[in-house]
Amino acid sequence: MILVNKLLWQNQIFPIVVIPLTILLYVVAFPNFNIPESAFIFAIPFIVWLLFKKPTRLTIIISAQIVGFSTWLILLWWLRHVTYIGTILLSFTIGLFWTVWILTASWIIPRIKGQLFHIRILGLLSISGSWVLLEWLRTFIFSGFPWLPLAASQWERPALLQLCSYTGFYGVSFVIIFFNLGMAFYIYHLIAGEKRKHWYQRICPEFYCALALLFISFSFILKPGYFKQNRKNIFRAGVVQPYITQPLKWDKTEAKNILNILERFSNFAAILEPDIILWPESTTPWPINGEKNLLIWMQSLTDKLKTPFLMGNMAKEKTVWRNTITSISPVTGLTDNYYSKRKLVPFGEYNPVKNYIPFIDKFVPLEGEFKAGKKTELLSVKINDVVYQVGPLVCYEDIFPSLSRENILAGADFQFVATNNAWYGEEAGAYQHAAHSVLRAVETRRPVLRCGNSGWSGWIDEYGNIRHVVTDDKNGIYFRGVDVMSVSRDEKLLNSQSVYIRYGNWFVLLCAIITTSAIIIIRVNPHELNRSTN
């Protein structure tokens, strides 16, 4: 056993095992691999390494950044279709958050190892809380890119996600990290522990606390509401996926052909008798508010099909562009107001470093600047004589939980995401994007409808169940076509607000308090800790 310890835990061979194993376990937890169980064990190799030996700070930083950069480069590889340099820089930047978390863990673990039980648990809570704080910071730093939080790995496993309605997605990430830590301590307890005389000395309390927290989190699915839903069909939504490739979308000579595609496939959708037709982001080739012929064409199509439309469009105000969602009805015509996207894509719709690095430009080939909306703007849509308040989200806005929360606080009955993932090829991008809509549905307890230019289109119910995905005959999401989906809602949740909607990021604040308090306590001399707790 001594020889094994020397070979595995003390020699430099251990990082060679830890680094690729951590990368593998983290990456496969997310789309397109979709092995969510690996999220519960991905951090174990690194934590076990820190438990058995305290590597130098430089070794930790280099190893952690290799893991962080490599995992995000693999997960974001679809972004290369837009920019190779941007993909590399973004992967490196997000990898820094993993490095900061590992450095935090490497500071805490040696100080709690061998301490009394409540000090060790406090340490694990602080490490888990620091992960939550870093995910929260990702919604703000560098203009915000909270892509693929750890909770998103469970997007096809709604059982654990019910916790989101109370804590936001942060609670799920916390539970997953705490379980990783509990398992790592259990492995350390089995291998490194001395021979124990009494049975209770052979128990690893960290593992049982982690197991208990996991069971408690899963217990939310046992609440009566999940299995006793009072669902009522509210309307049938026709989805049009025009799959207009990016070079064609901005080619003025292709404008007429794009309108022909939209009209032809909307006619196909109408055959299936939908109550409303959905179009994706920036559907039409001209701004919705600047071309009289476009408005005449849209109104004519709506009148002919006798069906309202909910759609993404561009709007132009002098030299300023807006990425919008609007609606048009055969009765009332084009809505007077439109929703303007509040979170613009850095280097896509605007250049955040224009004043400093002027030769870097946005990749959307439009003259003028995009301007972000400043407020929540619900859209009123009349479907089957019922007026619904729609919470609009354009493209990657559904990765920001605060925007969805604002929609529900404003009175949205459901949320509609109009997106265009054709920028990113036919890889993992659209699936990863859709995972965030699942989190938003559970957090807000409202259905989420999605319409993509090329996919992922479908809808998710209030409990995170994916009720319908628009697919072709080969079960693929990337295609040009139409489908109709019956949307329902649980009447028990009408006009209700989840804990997360009412109180926002209270769990993030709790994690900040726990983490700060724990670090202050752990900084006390270990001898003082032992004396104060004996």
Dihedral angle of Cα 203, 204, 209, 211, to the nearest 10 degrees: -90
pLDDT of residue 4: 44
CA geometry: angle 95, 101, 102, nearest 5 deg: 90
Tell me how far apart the alpha carbons of residues 256 and 270 are, in angstroms, rounded to a whole number: 21
**Phi and psi torsions of 324, nearest 5°:** -125, 165
Position 378 pLDDT exceeds 50: yes
Whole-angstrom distance between the N-terminal and C-terminal Cα of the chain? 33
Tokens of 283: 């559907």
Residue showing tokens 């991905």 = 42
pLDDT for 110-169, tens place per residue? 999 888 888 999 999 999 999 999 999 999 887 789 999 999 999 999 999 999 999 999
Asked which of 368-372, 374-378, 511-515 is least confident by mean pLDDT, the reply is: 368-372
pLDDT of residue 54: 79
Q: Beginning with the edge strand found earlier in the chain, give each strand of the sheet holding 379-383 in spatial order.
A: 379-383, 386-394, 414-419, 448-452, 458-460, 466-469
Which residues, at least 6 apart from 138, have a Cβ–Cβ distance to it below 8 Å?
A: 94, 97, 144, 145, 146, 147, 149
Tokens of 13: 């061979």
Position 369 pLDDT exceeds 90: no
Phi-psi region of 388 (alpha: psi -120 to 50; beta: other; left: phi over 0): beta
Which residues, at least 6 apart from 389, have a Cβ–Cβ distance to it below 8 Å?
A: 378, 379, 380, 410, 411, 412, 413
Residue 381's pLDDT band, with cuts at 50, 70 and 90, is: very high
Tell me how far apart the alpha carbons of residues 499 and 496 are, in angstroms, rounded to a whole number: 10
Alpha-carbon distances, residue 386 vs 96, 381, 409 (angstroms):
49, 8, 20
pLDDT of residue 167: 97
| pLDDT, mean of residues 173-186 | 97
Tell me how far apart the alpha carbons of residues 80 and 74 are, in angstroms, rounded to a whole number: 11
Helical H runs in 290-395?
Answer: 292-305
Enter the pTM of the model.
Answer: 0.92
pLDDT of residue 196: 56
| CA-based radius of gyration for the chain | 25
Helix (H, G, I), strand (E, B) or coil at 115: coil
256 and 264 Cβ atoms separated by less than 8 Å? no
pLDDT of residue 484: 97
pLDDT of residue 194: 54
Greater confidence (287 vs 223) lies with 287
Position 44 pLDDT exceeds 50: yes
pLDDT of residue 9: 46
For the chain, the average pLDDT equals 88
| pLDDT, mean of residues 240-262 | 85
pLDDT for 403-453, tens place per residue? 999 999 999 999 999 999 888 889 999 999 999 999 999 999 999 999 999
Q: Which residues of 285-314 are buried (b: 16+ CB within 10 A; e: fewer)?
A: bbbbbebeebbebbeebbeebebbbbbbbb
Residue 55's pLDDT band, with cuts at 50, 70 and 90, is: confident
pLDDT of residue 280: 96
Tokens of 20: 């690729």
Highest mean pLDDT among 324-333, 374-383, 432-441: 432-441
User: In this structure, how many other beta carbons lie within 10 angstroms of the beta carbon of residue 189?
Assistant: 18
Position 1 pLDDT exceeds 50: no
